[in-house]
Structure 1
Amino acid sequence: MSAKRRRAQRSPSPQYNLDDDSYEPYVPISQRRQEKLAKLSSLGVTAGRHKAKHIQEEQEEREDALKEEERRREKARKERTLLFEAQEVQKRKAAEDAKKTEGEKAEEVDQEILEAIKSRRKLISDLELAKGIQYTDPLRASWRPPRYIRERTLEEHEKLRDKYHILVEGEDVPPPIEHFEDMKIPDPILKHLKSNRIITPTPIQLQGIPAAFSGRDIIGIAFTGSGKTLAFCLPLIMLALEEEKKLPFVRGEGPVGVILCPSRELANQTFENVNTWCSALARDNKYPQLNSLLCMGGIAMNEQSHVLSKGIHIVVATPGRLIDMLEKKRFTFNNCKYLCMDEADRMIDLGFEDDVRNIISFFKRQRQTLLFSATMPRKIQDFAQESLIKPVLVNVGRAGAANLDVLQVVEYVKQEAKMVYLLECLQKTPPPVIIFSENKNEVDDIQEYLLLKGVEAVSIHGSKTQEERQFAIKAFKSGTKDVMVASGVASKGLDFNEIQHVIIFTMPKEIEDYVHQIGRTGRSGKTGIATTFVNMNTPDQTLLDLKYLLMEAGQKVPPFLASVDDPRAVLGGSLKGCPVCGGLGHSISNCPKLEETQRRQLAAHRNVEGGSY
């Protein structure tokens, strides 16, 4: 009974129609969960994107607002700077200037100019500059001073320098040596020097030659006629001799060193000296012949083809022709390790600096650099010390000071009376005599006047051909002509040993030129006279430079020159010399040399802009 009752109460079984299209297949629960999650996540991403876009738009609006506010502030700040702060600065500056003296103001202007011209590039090659090559140690040399000199104390070395009034600067300065024999110079050269009455070294040679033999970079300063040429030529000859004895040079090899000169006349004179000393060395069969080459404008290089067909040991050159030879690869500086610049202040300060830098770019190795001059102001010294490697500064007397062996006579002569008075001055001493004038036309006029008066005279200036210039110098040196009338081209370094009198017909503006011109006499320990004509056409600043130079040398100052007042004394400023040209009577702000340099630079720029460079 109970079993039947339970069957009656059971729910009927479901009926399935398998042919119905609406039938949905079974989906597992795990799959249904994944689909639900995917749906929810897609809805979240869409909402997130809308939200992120909304946030970004709000942020951009805030940034735009901030930028606009910053622009308003910047505009307001500029307006305040231009209108208010500039006035405040001027007021402060005016208040400070009111407290300063005129001299202090002038010194500040000078300092600003000096700082502006200090930003010159060092004398290094483009390769060294591009690769960041920096040499920290000087070249190593095989030469050593004798043992007894090496064993001297530093105090003994300094006592010897004081004896000859030699000032030195630098690290580990080589010792001074009083005798050529102790410098280990070959006997043939010693005999040649003695035959020319060169027995003992001059002060610049006494310290300069040992320093150069040691491989050191040198800045050599000494008055005109003090033997600087021997001081830089002899070390190069010894270096070339050492290289030749190691392994003889053949065609295409060399040079070992190069000497740069600012003028053709000085290059030719230096070349003749080098040839003379090399020939003296070769006369002794123990030593080989050293070949020298002269590179300068006005001469055909074919004339020296016999030298180019051999190995070259020494090159003496002017910058322009040397660059031409290097660019044509007539020889190379691949093994060159000695560079000397005679009249160095002129080489790197008056138009040759770019040429010198170009020449240095041909060097492929470290070099020994020597700079020599009679007038090298402090600005050039500082510039050179930055460009050289632990240089030794050898200074005999103040740079730019006049030779004390020259009696300086300054006379007031009216312009129209100069020619007549010139004949009177020629009676003071026997010939030969040099007459200097800054004007080329005036040089020719003086020569013509002297020839009409029966005086045997030649002239030399930059507009003459090389043949005319060489003939004039040769005739004057040989004694066939009594007087040479010259422009400034003959004042730099030319050696005329027998000259007792120099007449400066027109006083040069730059006191450096005056020092070089009077230095043509009183050479090699001899005395001489320098007569200078001045008049109303001579600028007061030039007269002031001349006045201080005479006072420094202990010379007589004529009354008309003594009456020239120094405006710096009135302003209350210091009476320091000019760091650009070394003149004692002016400051850098009115330096004629700086003005001339700026004039040349402006002229060069105009030529470049006009397409005529």
Structure 2
Amino acid sequence: MSSTRTTETNGAEPTYKRRRTQRSPSPQYKLDDDDTYEPYISVAQRKQAKLAKLTSWGAGSDKDKANKLKEEEEERQDEEREEERRKERARKERTLLMEAQEVHERKAVEDSKKTETEKAEEHDAEILAAIASRRKLASDLELAQGVQYTEPVKTSWRPPRFIRERTSEQHRRLREKYHIIVEGDDIPPPIENFTDMKVPEPLIKFLKSKRITKPTPIQLQGIPTAFAGRDMIGIAFTGSGKTLAFCLPLVMVALEEESKLPFVRGEGPVGVVLCPSRELATQTYENVLQWTASIAKEGKYPQLNTLLCIGGISMNDQSHVMNKGLHIVVATPGRLIDMLEKKRFTFDHCKYLCMDEADRMIDLGFEDDVRNIMSFFKHQRQTLLFSATMPRKIQDFAQLSLVKPILVNVGRAGAANLDVLQVVEYVKQEAKMVYLLECLQKTPPPVIIFSENKNEVDDIQEYLLLKGVEAVAIHGSKTQEERQYAIKSFKSGAKDVMVASSVASKGLDFNDIQHVIIFSMPKEIEDYVHQIGRTGRSGKTGIATTFVNMNTPEQTLLDLKYLLMEAGQKVPPFLTSIEDPRAAQGGSLTGCPVCGGLGHGISNCPKLEDTQRRQMASHRVSDDRGGY
């Protein structure tokens, strides 16, 4: 019952009455009849419905289109972000070990599809790329400051008009006639005689007195190239006249500078010739003295001063040269650095740098010394590199270091002189000494005998002396006086036989050597090419007899076999029977880019192995010193 409240007016307490409360009725839902109910529709279905509606409407308003494009772009971006998050989670879940395993598996699959030849070629390419990553040949100051020369040195020399008017086809035919290969831009023309090269008449007369009447192929193209001020890489077989090709331009540069303004004490030099050995530097120095003296003999041209800068001699003996203006320096790297550091002379105005036997000079043995020497130059210089053996690796390295260089190549780099008859004989180790006497009877003296071992050099000399043969010995452990005496007595004819290590094989020129005997075959085929090149010089013929036996590495014998085949020489049966493993694998028989040997690739190059062994030894020495 419901209750009501009443109030008494007379002050009595109020009384309450209860009454029933009426509730509102509960709502009743009729699901079957309710039209407002909407069933669930998936996102994909809604997208399709929107697309169908837009399609049915046709071209809607611009605003609707913009909104639609905006929505689609936002959806696409959301999907991309979600995909990135998914990939990031997947990356975090992966481990380095899993990635390494996948890389290894992919590489294994790829390698399984390759032949052994392709694998070997890839391996060789990796080695070559690793050793090719060397700084270019420039001073530390130039490298630090980013100095880079783009144009060659300018000179006043020009070829005669009739030569300049020749066509490029005429120049090409002339080079083909002398088997000259050239590479480069704006190559100066080849010139067939010294007169047209504008060589001073007194020097031409002197050369004729030495039976040098016309340029050799390397001189025919090399001298005009150097006269034009171009950087140059000159490659030619031993005994082809390379010394005149790089010294004559230096003499002409010095003559021009002296004629403009005579040099006084403390000035110069104009140019420098670097040699790897003292004997080669001495020989080059003597040639330059003869040529400069012949030019100044008639009084038409000034006298040039030349300094020999090598170890083992006292520089005070040449104080009369250093007290005047200095034009030309012929040096070995060590002594030259010493003189430059002591400021006995400077390279402030030096504009000509030549390296003889350049592949040895810029190889690992002398590369740091050469960079040190270059740091003393203050201005751009003309750089020339000459050698009989210059592998492709050194050529590529030199190309990066020179300014628009010209490569002048007479024959393959590292090929043997075709004027030398090469005889290879199998001689047991214990029978070498006895057979040596028989070989000496093949030709009259003078004869040079080469051995790789210093102790063996001394043993051979002692044996020959006991047998009554007038013999001298030369190797790196001899004093400078002993080495000079040996060369002087041998050149003069007082001694019939010279026994030498490889120190006498690089560039030394002896008169009328008819026979060279290689007592122990060198491991590197480059050394063999230099050793047999002591005979057959200046167009003459000679004989080279080489002893080989079971102690000679098979790889060296394979190099020798290919070298004989290339030169058209007789290959003995025991060399013919040696098979090339590369041929069995179907690989290419290209030469080694490090040493030029034809019988092996870079992966088993003895020169590279020896270089790495020297590097490791030098690192060990450095580590030992660091411990103190």
TM-score w.r.t. the length of structure 2 is 0.85
Question: Distance between the aligned counterparts of 1:184 and 1:79, measured in 2?
Answer: 78
Match of 1:492 in 2: 506
- Residue of structure 1 in register with 2:384 after alignment: 370
Q: Deviations over 1:245-304 (max 9, x none)?
A: 000000000000000000000000000000010111111111111000010100000000
The answer as to whether partners of 1:254 and 1:312 remain within 8 angstroms in 2 is: yes
In the alignment, does 2:326 pair up with 1:292?
Answer: no
Q: Which residue does 1:34 correspond to in 2?
A: none
Structure 1 equivalent of residue 592 of structure 2: 578
1:10 is matched with none
> Match for 2:339 among 299, 311, 325?
325
Aligned to 1:437: 451
The residue that corresponds to 1:565 in the other structure is 579
Q: Does 1:471 align with 2:485?
A: yes
Q: Alpha-carbon deviations, 1:321-375, whole Å to 9, x = none?
A: 0000000000000000000000000000141000000000000000000000000
Q: C-alpha offsets along residues 69-98 of structure 1, whole Å, 9 cap, x if unaligned? A: x9xx99984773433222222222111111
2:296 aligns with 282
The residue that corresponds to 1:243 in the other structure is 257
Between the two proteins, the alignment pairs up a number of residues equal to 544
Which residue identity does 2:219 align to in structure 1?
A: Q
- In the alignment, what sits opposite 1:104? 118
Tell me, yes or no, if the aligned pair for 2:561 and 2:571 is still in contact at 8 Å.
yes
What is the aligned counterpart of 2:156 among 132, 142, 146?
142
TM-aligned CA distance change 1:315 to 1:76, over 3 Å = same
Counterpart contact for 2:188–2:224, Cα < 8 Å:
yes
Counterpart amino acid of 1:508? P
Within 2, Cα distance between the matches of 1:607 and 1:84?
A: 41
Amino acid paired to 1:590:
N
Matched, 1:220 2:221: no
Structure 1 CA distance for aligned equivalents of residues 425 and 113 of structure 2: 43
Shift of residue 481, structure 1, vs aligned partner: 0.3
Q: Does the CA-based 8 Å contact 1:220-1:372 persist in structure 2?
A: yes
Q: Distance in 1 between matches of 2:195 and 2:322?
A: 34
Partner in structure 1 of residue 406 of structure 2: 392
List per-residue Cα deviations over 1:229-254 (Å, max 9, x = no partner).
Answer: 00000000000000000000000000
3-state secondary structure, aligned to 1:181: coil
- For 2:545 and 2:144, the matched residues in 1 are separated by 52
- Of 258, 273, 280 in structure 2, the residue corresponding to residue 259 of structure 1 is 273
Q: Does the 8 Å contact 1:136/1:389 carry over to 2?
A: yes
The question of 1:200 aligning with 2:214 is answered: yes
| Distance in structure 2 (CA, Å) of the matches to 1:81 and 1:425 | 71
Residue 181 of structure 1: which of 195, 205, 213 is its match? 195
Q: Distance in 1 between matches of 2:447 and 2:405?
A: 39
1:521: which partner in 2?
Answer: 535
Distance in 1 (alpha carbons) for counterparts of 2:507 and 2:328: 20
The match for 1:452 is 466
Q: Distance in 1 between matches of 2:187 and 2:243?
A: 21
2:318 alignment counterpart: 304
SS where residue 132 of structure 2 aligns? coil
Q: Whole-Å Cα distance in 1 between the matches of residues 130 and 407 of structure 2?
A: 25
Runs of 4+ in 1 over 6 A off after TM superposition: 73-76
Q: 1:151 to 1:454 in 2, by over 3 A?
A: same
1:423-462, Cα deviation, whole Å (9 max, x unpaired): 0000000000000000000000000000000000000000
Matching residue's letter, 1:610: D
Whether the aligned pair in 2 keeps the contact of 1:451 and 1:457 (CA below 8 Å) is: yes
Gaps in structure 2 of 5+ consecutive residues: 1-83
Q: Does the 8 Å CA contact 1:497/1:524 hold for their aligned counterparts?
A: no
1:412 corresponding residue in structure 2: 426
Counterpart of 1:422, as a letter, is: L
Q: Cα 1:78–1:311, aligned 2, differ >3 Å: closer, same or farther?
A: farther
SS state of the match for residue 362, structure 2? helix
Structure 1 residue runs without a partner (length 5+)? 1-69
1:605 Cα deviation (Å)?
1.3
Give the Cα separation in 2 of the matches to 1:78 and 1:427. 82
How has the CA–CA distance of structure 1 residues 78 and 495 changed in structure 2, closer, same or farther, with 3 Å as cutoff?
A: farther
Residue 589 (str. 1) matches residue 581 (str. 2): no
Aligned to 1:31: none
Q: Counterpart of 2:214 in 1: which secondary structure?
A: coil
What corresponds to 1:163 in structure 2?
Answer: 177
Q: Look up the equivalent residue of 2:504 and give its one-letter code.
A: A
- CA separation in 1, counterparts of 2:359 and 2:236? 13
Residues 75-125 of structure 1 show CA distances to partners (whole Å, capped at 9, x for unaligned) of 984773433222222222111111111111111100000111111001111
User: Are residues 1:533 and 2:557 paired?
Assistant: no
Q: Which residue of 2 aligns with 1:461?
A: 475
Provide Cα deviations, 1:122-180, integer angstroms capped at 9, x if missing partner: 11112211221111000000000000000000000000000000000000000000001
Contact 1:174-1:211 at 8 Å conserved across structures: yes
Maintained 8 Å contact 1:101/1:572: no
Q: 2:520 aligns with which of 506, 531, 550?
A: 506
Residue matched to 1:351: 365
Distance 2:543 2:422 in 1: 6
Contact 1:103/1:572 (<8 A) preserved? yes
1:398 alignment partner AA: R
* Paired position in structure 2 for 1:342: 356
Q: Is 2:490 the counterpart of 1:480?
A: no
Match among 146, 164, 167 for residue 153 of structure 1: 167
Matched position secondary structure for 1:259:
strand
Q: Give 1:536-551 correspondences, 5 Å limit.
A: 536-551=550-565
CA distance in 2, matches of 1:382, 1:518: 27
Letter in 2 for 1:278: T
How do 1:89-128 and structure 2 match up within 5 A? 89-128=103-142
Q: Distance in 2 between matches of 1:243 and 1:353?
A: 30
Q: Look up the SS of the partner of 2:384 in the other structure.
A: strand
CA distance in 1, matches of 2:143, 2:364: 23
Computed over aligned residues only, the root mean square deviation of the Cα atoms, in angstroms, reads 1.6
**Deviation for aligned residue 1:529:** 0.3
Amino acid across the alignment from 2:485: F
SS at match of 1:323: helix
When structure 1 is superposed on structure 2, of 220-229 and 275-284 the one drifting more is 275-284
The residue type paired with residue 511 of structure 2 is: N
**Greater displacement, 357-366 / 594-603:** 594-603
Q: Distance in 2 between matches of 1:610 and 1:187?
A: 60
Compute the TM-score of the two structures, normalised by the length of structure 1. Answer: 0.87
For residues 506 and 149 of structure 1, the distance between their equivalents in structure 2, rounded to whole angstroms, comes to 49
Q: Counterparts of 1:546 and 1:478 in 2: how far apart (Å)?
A: 33
The residue type equivalent to 1:261 in the other structure is C
Letter paired with 1:389: V
Work out whether residues 491 and 511 of structure 2, in 8 Å CA contact, stay in contact via their aligned partners in 1. no
